[in-house]
Amino acid sequence: MADGSLTAGARVPSTRALASDLGISRTTVTAAFEQLAAEGFLLTSSGRAARVATPPVATPVVRPVPGRRGKAGRSMSLSASLSVSLSGYGRRVAATEMPAIPASPAAAIDFRYGAVASRDFPTLVWRRAYQAELLRRQPSLFYVAPEGEASLRRALQGYLRRARGLVCDAEQIVVVHGSQQGIDLCARLLLEPGDDFVFEDPGYLMARRGFEAVGARMAPVRVDAHGLDTASLPQDGRARLAFVTPSHQFPLGGVLPVARRMALLQWAQRNRAWVVEDDYDGEFRYGQRPIDALQSIDTDGRVIYIGTFSKALSPQLRLGYLVLPVELVPVFRHAKRLADRHAPVLDQRVLASLIDSGAYERHVRRVRRENERRRAELLAAVARNLPSDARVDGTAAGLHVVLWLPGLKAVDEEAFADAARQKGVGVYPLSPLFASRKGAKARAAGFILGYAGLTVAEIDEGVRVLGQAVREFA
């Protein structure tokens, strides 16, 4: 049939004849005929000879998908996909530059930001809770509500009040696949192509990419040691949304003072703009009680709070949550359902049980102490090994610091990071996080050093090697 030697309507040999011709069992031939009939190649009716189906639209030639091997690899140029027909969103996404994701750490001692130590993960507690939830009988397995399990949302409500000062109802919470999905949902639902969004300069690149992908335009606002400089907020009324990290500015590390928090909220109210508060590491504040979330002083329902389990548990879990102004709850639930129905149920129930039992907060305290030790070692090692003009910023909170090396300029960052990587140490240039390359010749070189994935000994050794690299770089 495929090569045209049997045409539409032609009778095919009987199963008996074919079995005898081919020397195989008639059962086999019958099964083959049934399969051909089921796939539409043959017309059969009982007692009559089978015929080739009509109309025989075309010759199905099964070939492998063209150009498979090697062409879809990681190095494939994105411009190739621009030639195929994509939506406006698709074309913007195809053209988006994104940092590479190395399959393994890029260096023996890698200060990559976002990594957490696997020995910090509460394996035994997690395993026990997971088993309990896995064995809990449900009548049947079905889709659940898009906003997430009620038990987790109730547990989060209490946790957020205790830990982050948030005042909210469990109904305002939507569980998402990590903070990136929270950002993406905000981008899709709140920004139109051509809208402006206020963005910290420097700021968190994956959020910027998410907003730009929907066609919105960045309105960068400078950041100083106290976070976003609210005096520089645009007053042209074009911004529909501001993305901020008030608890610990990413990357520079400032904590937004209350006066600026109020100024930001008033700006949002005047401009009818949304404020997206990414509280990516708010639990990790050292020396003092964590500062309450910006959401806690929002009286106008303008703040969308994004929380995550990536830092306290694991970025590989892909679980986070939004706390929404009540007016936005229904549309975010619908959008979450259209995006992927809901977050995985088992992981949600495990988290709920860990929060309810107090195990989660004990764990966070333990990890905070671990990271306090790492941070102390990092600061001590910098003082011991780096030039006296080296400065470390953003140490009050979080899981990373910014290391400034005034002996180098920002334009040297890539070359220095390469030199350090040659010696087995990964550090990450600050410049790609700025809105533009302007000023990079005058600015001191800055690097992000995440420490949550390393041991104290690795931190010590890593900074020692960095000191060497600085002396040799000149």
Residues of span 299-318 touching its own copies by CB under 8 A: 299, 301, 314-318
* Tokens linked to 44: 């059969």
296 in contact with its own copies (CB under 8 A): yes
24 binds its own copies (CB under 8 A): no
Does 345 engage in binding with its own copies (CB under 8 A)? yes
Measure Cα distances from 347 to 128, 145, 337 in Å.
Answer: 12, 15, 18
Kindly state whether residue 258 participates in binding its own copies, applying the rule CB under 8 A.
yes
Whichever of 290 and 410 has its CB closer to its own copies, that residue is 290
Q: Could you give the CA distance from residue 171 to residue 151 in angstroms, rounded to a whole number? A: 11
Phi, psi angle pair for 344, to nearest 5°: -55, 135
Q: Which residue in 50, 152, 155, 177 binds its own copies (CB under 8 A)? A: 177
Contact region for its own copies (CB under 8 A) — 56-64, 197-205, 353-361, 383-391? Answer: 56-64
Distance CA 396, CA 375 (A): 10
Q: Using CB under 8 A, pick the residue from 139, 236, 472, 474 that binds its own copies.
A: 139
Q: Which of 163, 284, 293, 342 is the binder for its own copies (CB under 8 A)?
A: 342
Please state, in angstroms and rounded to a whole number, the distance separating the CA atoms of residues 472 and 29. 77
Stretch (H or E) spanning 187:
helix 178-190
Beta-carbon neighbour count of residue 98 at 10 Å? 10
Minimum gap (Å) between residue 439 Cβ and its own copies: 27
**Residue placing its CB nearer to its own copies in the complex, 14 or 314:** 314
Residues in region 66-125 near its own copies by CB under 8 A = 66-69, 71-74, 76-78, 80-81, 83-90, 93-94, 96, 98, 101, 103-105, 110, 112, 114-118, 121, 123
Q: What is the enclosing helix (H) or strand (E) of 450? A: strand 444-450
Measured distance CA(6)–CA(424) in Å, rounded: 67
What strands lie across the sheet with 391-393, from one edge to the other?
391-393, 400-409, 444-450, 428-429
Which of 310, 390 has the CB closer to its own copies?
A: 310
Question: Are the beta carbons of 279 and 247 closer than 8 angstroms?
Answer: yes
User: Helices marked H in 358-450 — which ranges?
Assistant: 359-385, 413-422
Strands 274-278, 51-52: parallel, antiparallel or unpaired by DSSP?
unpaired
Binding track, positions 217-246, relative to its own copies; x by CB under 8 A: ---------x-------------x------
Closest CB to its own copies among residues 105, 424: 105
Q: Between 22 and 259, whose beta carbon lies closer to its own copies?
A: 259
Sole binder of its own copies in the list 19, 125, 205, 346 (CB under 8 A): 346
Q: Which is nearer to its own copies, 294 or 401 (CB)?
A: 294
- Decide if residue 46 touches its own copies (CB under 8 A): no
Smaller CB separation from its own copies, 195 or 201: 195
Stretch that binds its own copies, among 140-148, 373-381, 434-442, 461-469 (CB under 8 A): 140-148
Q: How far apart are CA 159 and CA 163, in angstroms?
A: 6
Complex with its own copies: residue 289 or 438, whichever CB lies closer? 289
Query: Between 97 and 472, whose beta carbon lies closer to its own copies?
Result: 97
Residues 449-468 that bind its own copies (CB under 8 A): 453-454
What is the pattern of x (binds its own copies, CB under 8 A) and - over residues 265-294? -x-----x-x------------xxx-xx--
Please choose, from the candidates 219, 245, 202, the residue with its C-alpha nearest in 3D space to the C-alpha of residue 413. Answer: 202
State which of residues 35, 235, 357, 422 lies at the interface with its own copies (CB under 8 A). Answer: 35
Burial class for 240, CB neighbours closer than 10 Å (0-12, 13-18, 19+) = middle
Residue list 380-439, contact with its own copies (CB under 8 A): 396
3-state secondary structure 259-295: HHHHHHHHHHHHHCCEEEEECCCCCCECCCCCCCCHH
What lies within 8 Å, CB to CB, of 151 at 6+ separation is 348, 349, 352, 353, 356
Please say which residue, 342 or 363, places its beta carbon nearer to its own copies. 342
Q: How far is Cα 289 from Cα 272, in angstroms, rounded to an integer?
A: 32
Could you say which of 176, 198, 221, 293 contacts its own copies (CB under 8 A)?
Answer: 176
Answer whether 312's CB lies under 8 Å from 320's CB: no
Nearer CB in complex with its own copies: 303/405? 303
Q: Does 205 participate in binding its own copies (rule CB under 8 A)?
A: no
AA identity, residue 61: V
Residue 472 sits in the site that holds its own copies (CB under 8 A):
no
Between CA 210 and CA 203 the distance in angstroms is 13
Backbone angles phi, psi at 133, to 5 degrees: -70, -35
- Nearest distance from C-beta of residue 204 to its own copies, angstroms: 13
Interhelix angle for 205-213 vs 178-190, to 10°?
30
Q: What is the smallest separation between the CB atom of 91 and its own copies, expressed in angstroms? A: 9
Work out which of 262, 383, 415, 457 binds its own copies, going by CB under 8 A.
262
**Residues binding its own copies: number (CB under 8 A):** 148
